[in-house]
Amino acid sequence: MSSMLNVRISRKAKVSTYPFTDYFEGFERVDIVRKIFGEKTGEILSNLKIEFIGRRGYMGVSNEDGHLIVSARYLKDGDIIDIYLDVIHELVHVKQFIEGEELFDRNYRYVERPTEIEAFQYAVEEARNLGLSDERICNYLKTEWMSDEDLTRLAKALNVTCEVSLS
């Protein structure tokens, strides 16, 4: 088929990945991260890879090999506290992946998925450790794909008081 097109398309593109610690230094010393991984914190973070993508978005974990996927634009322009809390959130997903949990169980809505609730619990705990108000935490939790009803449901599960107008 390619010869008919008179072009050559290499279909074995290499994903650009970097060591997590090249971009996120000192997380192995953060108490909440040590709570996530325990004694294996240093080992897991030193072996964790991070892939930067050029499209819009935030962060996620590959369900193929458990590496972090980060929007380079978000890393550059995002709120530093949100980025920090997202790293905590995604590290919980890394732990879940290592333990063989289903990260994207479609039997649950996003805000009710057990893996998401656990990841948000760690992020909220760290937000509280930082002294963030419930209002600021709600701002962190809210995403453009989440309705006010979803935010209310998630906040309730996390014991966070959110003032949202359900219209």
Find out whether 98 and 88 touch, Cβ atoms under 8 Å.
no
Query: In degrees rounded to 5, what are phi and psi of residue 18?
Result: -135, 160
Q: With the C-alpha atoms ordered 82, 86, 89, 95, is the resulting torsion angle positive or negative?
A: negative
C-alpha 63 chain-centroid distance: 12
Find out whether 157 and 111 touch, Cβ atoms under 8 Å.
yes
Q: What is the pLDDT of residue 167?
A: 45
Distance CA 70, CA 63 (A): 14
Distance CA 55, CA 40 (A): 32
Q: Which of 98, 80, 105 is nearest to 24 (CA)?
A: 80
Distance CA 44, CA 86 (A): 17
pLDDT one digit per residue (tens) for the chain, 167 residues: 445 676 666 666 555 788 999 999 999 999 999 999 999 999 999 999 999 888 888 999 998 999 999 988 898 889 999 999 999 999 999 999 999 999 989 999 999 999 999 999 999 999 999 999 999 999 999 998 899 999 999 999 999 999 866 44
For residue 71, list its beta bridge partners.
53
